[in-house]
Structure 1
Amino acid sequence: MKRTTAIVCLSSLLITAGCSDSKSGGGKSGNDEQKASGAIIKQFADAWVAAWAPDGKPDAAGALTDNPTVFAKRLDDTDTALVASTVTVAPQGDPKCSDANNCTQELAVEAQLRGIGAMKWTSTATAVKTGDAWKIKASGDTIYPGLGDNNYLKRVRALPARASILDRNGVALTANRPVVIVGVASGAKATAATYAAFTKYLDVDGAKLAARAKAAPAGQFVDAITIRAEEWEALRPTMGKLPGVLTMGGTQSLPPTATFAKSLIGTMKTATADTLKNAGTTASAQDQVGTTGLQYAFQQQLAGTPGGTVTLRDGKTKLSIKTVFSQKGTAGKPVKTTLDTAMQKSAEAALATSKLPASLVAVQASTGQILAAANGPTPASYNRAFQGRYAPGSTFKIVTSAALIGSGETGATALPCTNTINVFGKTFKNYDGLAAYGAGTMQKAFNESCNTAFISQHARLPKDGMTKAAAMFGIGRDLNLSINAYGGQVPLPKDDVAEAASMIGQGTVTASPLAISLVAATVDHGTAMKPVLVPGKDAAGAAASPLPAATVAALRTFMRTTVTSGTASVLAGNGAVAAKTGTAELVSGGKVITNAWMAGYRGDVAFAVIVEGGESGSHTAGPILKTFLSSFK
């Protein structure tokens, strides 16, 4: 095993015996021999521990024996065979001396076999005195009884089948499916065309792969990527005949398709330093482990614990003499989620109709349970639906309306809609071609999404008015989900301009699609609920006190009439849908671009969709939601 240098300080490699003419093990002479042999055995035990520690070397332990080079190699080879991460070696009792030159002492050994667990055994160290110096007899039996000069230990590790991630009905979202590990043989066989093909067809850095192959021992398989078996079959005619390309078959826990719920379920890859740490002490650097999503969050539960055996083998015949260690693995336990398979498929199909990056989240309003969360139009490991931080635009007028109703206004309160409004030198305008219509009500301003009408009321709210109103909808709190999710923020405004911007979901106000779906759910249910993806793991229940009944009634009317006679009319004809559109402006690369939003509910299902770079909520986000809602009742 290749290791970096570890320094073991030994006060002396020579332990001298006490002066005595006696050859017996009794009396003062016997005590001296016990002390001297016990000291060298204790030094040896400590040196063994250091040798099998991470980055340890066997040289110091070997130096304490009567054949340093041979023993150091035997100790190192055994460490390599067992894949021991650490070891404890404890001398038991006092040495037993047969004469003045030979003493033995039992060693209680416990090695942590990486990726399996603890293996315990007892061996015997023999201390022999040559001249004035004590040394440890360089026998394989000192390491493990029966090793002798030629035998060796062989370990085999057995991984249990990975457990499945389940939907709310117990349907498996993942299963162990056939995969192909694609790589190259080290050496010069692979050509520039080979590495270029890895980059072109598999999105693998060909230059880095070439460097790894060059550094690897001759003839070694250098893995590049693990893909589904059907994906390799499609690539085989192109890549299978290229010089140096090698493949290995295997299985991996995967969803039914490469795109299904990818950002939620997550991905699995060969362990890295970070993912190996997350996988726990029974994982191995060669294991396929969860790297993102639920596969990462529940890696240890899904993987279970591996089993393994260690056999003592004949050094000449290579045949097993006996099994000296056996440990059964434990199967992983499934992770049940709140996802609805059919609804997840519908969400992904709806997003596939968009050419722009988009996300859609659907939740059960009465419980906060997440039914679907999709990112499209192509799969992405980054879960925008949960982690995206966007200005919510006019969908946030749901919160603004609640704040104004709390201040004493009603749906019938007169709110004039002008083309522009100036707040301390900052001019705000309407969006999506909305022309001023003069006198109107709060309900009409909501239905038509008039920015200036809502901003005109900013003076009615206290400085913390929008922050407190947002909290009633669960915005601004840590969501504490099993996987990373952003709950939004509504900071206290620094001035009137910032407060005005927050009333139309701009400025420093940000939220994820998940957070906005929960805003819609709060109107539907009447109380903000904590989101739940994994029952029993994610905290359930109310996230805030119930909204006042008058506020709930008004908001439900606002959102329903926005569908029947307002900006969300694209959803009309899909049942009793209630919704709010939104368009948020932001500056990117020196240009003003827009993100399109729509949020709402039908029955006990609340939802939100965002389209990055979309024209408007009604024109861009609306059709996606229409497709989604038409797929289920």
Structure 2
Amino acid sequence: MKRTAAIVSLSALLVAAGCSDNTPDSGGKPDPNDEKQASAAVVKAFAAGWVKAWAPDGKPTEAAALTDNPEAFGPRLDDVDTALVAQSATVTPQGEPKCTDDSNCTQDLAVEAVLRGIGTMKWTSTAVAVKTGDAWKIKASGDTIYPGLGEGNYLKRVRTLPPRASILDRTGKPLTANRPVVIVGVASGTKATAATYAAFTKNLDVDGAKLAKRAKAAPAGQFVDAITIRAQEWDKLRPKMGNLPGVLTMGGTQSLPESPTFARSVIGTMKTATAETLKNAGPTASTQDQVGTTGLQYAFQQQLAGTPGGSVALRDGKTKMVIKEVFKQEGKAGTPVRTSLDTNLQRQAEAALATSKLPASLVAVQASTGQVLAAANGPTATSYNRAFQGHYAPGSTFKVVTAAALMGAGLTASSQLPCTNTINVFGKSFKNYDGLAPYGTGSLEKAFNTSCNTAFISQHGKLPADGMTKAAAMFGLGQELKSAVPAYGGEVPAPKDVVAESASMIGQGTVTASPLGVAMIGATVKHGTAMKPVLVLGKDPAGPAAEPLPPATANALRTMMRTTVTNGTAAVLAGNGTVAAKTGTAEVVEGGKVVTNGWMVGYRGDVAFAVVVEGGASGAKAAGPILKNWLARFR
């Protein structure tokens, strides 16, 4: 049966064969009494039928009907197509027919077949046209398809994949390597039982009902894959699942990190190709290949996979022995992708997040370059990289930006601001968080250290309408990030009124950022200039993302973030070296209820960081312990 191929664009270049000097009849048809014209016409039509036969979902009917034995030739043409896994063909008649008499002519055919997952195979075969009665037909011979096929020989294709290249850390150490895996699935049809599918659901987190539906719909004799797991994982599950009815396994290798959880959301995952991932994998990929589905494995699938090799051999139909190799293409190994990740910092970030009971993310960057050192999501592994893609209100971590905006409007760290319990802005009441008691008038630095919302909002009249937007841009926020993997650059739109402006000053309202974006705030304070975040070295845009902060502003922010640790809301980090930080608590509405996310941003040395804890009570109580754990793990 003709297999289904991917839909591709065909180029069926059919050059009309040469004809004799005789002139066709007035209808433009070849003269049936001129053997060259007649044979050329049938060869041309046969070539067109062959192209259609090897097109996606094509049928050999049209080509076979032009032969002297359609019943035998149609299946043979289809079988060769299937054996080669041809996704398209170009068949071009060459020169003029050569006739030995008025009933027998030959004409060469130049054939180019695109072999799915390998490349283009070219050959020349010969079509023999014979006159049968009043009609010209193509002799139904295997040699017409490929020279030497005859009646019993066949073509055998072999495809070979080069080892997948590794994803590397910043020092060139492999983050991934080709490791043994087991593809676990079931036999098609009804061999697998309800207990089998229940075991897939329980032990492998595979939807057993969907797997059963796929198995029953698949052609007889097929292996229906369900999941690919590490070989050691299957060794543990084998006693539970190995003998269940219908369970089948296949061994292989897959490019994997050191553990199933390590940097999963950044490195990405691999699975058997689907229609979507096959398109991303390029023209040399196959439906049987393991390809990248998320993260860097997906983004750099073609670079990492390299180019498959392959060969086609003509084999004896009786002995199955190779007569000769008729096509060979060498594969090309993939090339590694070098990231900016620090393997140890990544491990330590994941270990720190594992202590959280709530969803959390931690991003660490090198402040001086913007290079991402760690990007972790926890406490359990996920393929969704919320560290890069999450859209969060940054809460009071955004007061770093607000303080910069106010200093740009003329305030200094010692400027006096009132910290009241609440503040009313055109009918909207704002309050403080974390049980902060109003302390009257104090400096901007004290308002920063204690994270007094009302003190910051009291200064909204000093900022122009686009003041917060421009200040955010100095920290690289609000830009489109053109990184190798999807990343959110944040949004700080100009507020529509003073109420929205007041909300933006405390990182609420329409202000959103990812943990990566917030980490870059800390990096900007430390370095003095916002840098573009870089994950893939040599690929992601690098360099400054904005003009440098005014030196006085940068110095003031460094002092304020340091005193927030020594005498403010980030005191939980004291004792972990010279750390500078800012806490944040952001209100969000989920399911109609107001919940809070806990934040912390800061830096130590040239390493800047940000942590968000979804549903965390506050930055100090939720994000602080995670950061303290992480900072204690490295120096």
TM-score by length of 1: 0.95
Deviation at 1:46, TM superposition (A): 1.2
- Verify: 1:554 aligned to 2:525, yes or no: no
Distance 2:402 2:189 in 1: 66
| Partner residue, 2:160 | 158
1:492, distance to aligned residue in structure 2 (A): 1.3
User: How far 1:135 moved relative to its partner?
Assistant: 1.1
Question: What is the letter of the counterpart of residue 145 of structure 1?
Answer: P
State the shift of 1:29 in Å: 8.5
The answer for the alignment partner of 1:225 in structure 2 is 227
Q: Which amino acid is 1:251 matched to?
A: T
2:287 matched to which residue of 1? 285
* Structural mapping, 1:78-117, within 5 Å: 78-117=80-119
Q: Distance in 2 between matches of 1:67 and 1:388?
A: 65
1:579 equivalent among 581, 584, 592: 581
Task: Give the secondary structure class of the aligned counterpart of 2:419.
Answer: coil
Query: What residue number does 1:303 align with?
Result: 305
2:14 equivalent in structure 1 = none
Q: Which moved more, 1:491-500 or 1:373-382?
A: 491-500
Partner of 1:493: 495
Q: 1:89: how far off? A: 0.8
Matched to 2:215, the amino acid is A
Root-mean-square deviation (Å): 2.0
SS in structure 1 of the partner of residue 630 of structure 2:
helix
Paired position in structure 2 for 1:145 = 147
What's the CA shift string for 1:50-85, capped at 9, x where partnerless? 111112111111111111121111111000000011
**1:407-428 per-position Cα deviation (integer Å, ceiling 9, x unaligned):** 1111111111000001111100
Q: Paired residue for 2:466?
A: 464
Q: CA deviation at 1:249?
A: 1.4
Q: Distance in 1 between matches of 2:421 and 2:624?
A: 24
1:215 to 209, 214, 217: 217
1:294 partner letter: L
Shift of 1:242: 2.0
Which secondary structure does the structure 1 equivalent of 2:417 belong to? coil
Per the alignment, residue 514 of structure 1 pairs with 516
Instruction: Tell me: CA distance 1:103–1:198, structure 2 relative to 1, closer, same or farther (3 Å).
Output: same
The corresponding residue for 2:2 is 2
Q: Tell me by how many angstroms 1:244 deviates.
A: 2.0
Cα offset, 1:134, TM superposition: 1.2
Give 1:4 deviation, angstroms: 8.2
Partner of 2:310: helix, strand, or coil?
A: strand
Write the deviation string for residues 78-129 of structure 1: whole angstroms up to 9, x where unpaired. 0000001111111111111111111111111111111011111011111111
Asked if the contact 2:31/2:37 (under 8 Å) is kept, the reply is no
Relative to structure 2, which stretch is displaced further, 554-563 or 215-224?
215-224
Matched, 1:504 2:516: no
Partner of 2:13: none
Q: What residue in structure 1 maps to residue 572 of structure 2?
A: 570
CA distance in structure 1 between the aligned counterparts of 2:31 and 2:434, rounded to whole angstroms: 102
Conservation of the 8 A alpha-carbon contact between 1:30 and 1:97: no
Mean Cα deviation higher: 209-218 or 585-594: 209-218
Whole-Å separation in 1 of the counterparts to 2:189 and 2:249: 16
**Offset of residue 222 of structure 1:** 1.8
Residue 147 of structure 1: CA displacement? 0.7
For 2:117 and 2:514, the matched residues in 1 are separated by 39
Q: Which position in structure 2 is the counterpart of 1:275?
A: 277
Contact 1:359 1:376 in 2 (8 A): yes
Match of 1:134?
A: 136
Percent identity reads 77
What residue is the counterpart of 2:52 in the other structure? Answer: 50
Match of 2:37 among 27, 35, 52: 35
CA distance in 2: counterparts of 1:88 and 1:212, whole angstroms: 35
The yes-or-no answer on 1:180 pairing with 2:198 is no
* 1:536 aligned onto 2:520: no
Contact 2:483 2:535 in 1 (8 A): yes
CA distance in structure 2 between the partners assigned to 1:188 and 1:82 by the alignment: 31
Aligned counterpart, 1:191: 193
CA distance in 2, matches of 1:242, 1:135: 56
For residue 414 of structure 1, what is the amino acid of its counterpart? Q
Query: What is the letter of the counterpart of residue 344 of structure 1?
Result: Q
Q: From 436, 439, 443, give the equivalent of 2:438.
A: 436
* Counterparts in 2 of 1:29 and 1:189: CA distance versus 1, 3 Å: closer
Q: 1:30: Cα distance to partner?
A: 11
Q: What amino acid does structure 2 have at the position aligned with 1:430?
A: N
- Corresponding residue of 1:9: none
Q: Using the alignment, how far apart are the partners of 1:524 and 1:29 within structure 2?
A: 87
Provide TM-score, normalisation by structure 2: 0.95
Q: How many residues align?
A: 618
How many Å separate the matches in 2 of 1:485 and 1:4? 37
Kept in 2: contact 1:4–1:57 (CA 8 A): no
Q: Distance in 2 between matches of 1:90 and 1:219?
A: 38
Aligned position for 1:631: 633
- 3-state SS of paired residue (1:468): helix
Distance verdict in 2 for CA 1:4–1:621, change over 3 Å: closer
Q: Using the alignment, how far apart are the partners of 2:41 and 2:546 within structure 1?
A: 67
Contact kept in structure 2, 1:527 and 1:547, CA below 8 Å: yes
Measured against aligned partners, the alpha-carbon deviations of 1:226-276 in whole angstroms (never above 9, x if no partner) come to 111111122122222322222221111000101000000000000011100
What secondary structure does 1:439 align onto?
strand
CA distance in 2 between counterparts of 1:140 and 1:219 reads 28
Q: Which residue of 1 aligns with 2:70?
A: 68
Please say if residues 195 and 206 of structure 1, whose CA atoms lie closer than 8 Å, have aligned partners that are also in contact: yes
Superposed displacement of residue 612, structure 1: 0.3
- Paired amino acid for 2:99: C
Distance 1:457 1:348, change over 3 A: same
Deviations 1:116-173 (A, max 9, x none): 1111101111111122211111111111000111111010100111011010011110
SS at the partner of 2:490?
Answer: coil
CA displacement at 1:320 relative to structure 2: 1.4
**2:205 counterpart residue number:** 203
Runs (5+) with no aligned partner, structure 2? 8-16, 23-29
- Conserved? CA contact 1:3–1:57, under 8 Å: no
Mapping 1:366-445, distance limit 5 Å: 366-445=368-447
Deviations 1:437-479 (A, max 9, x none): 0110111000000001111111111111111111111101111
User: Counterpart of 1:590?
Assistant: 592
Which segment is superposed worse, 280-289 or 97-106? 97-106
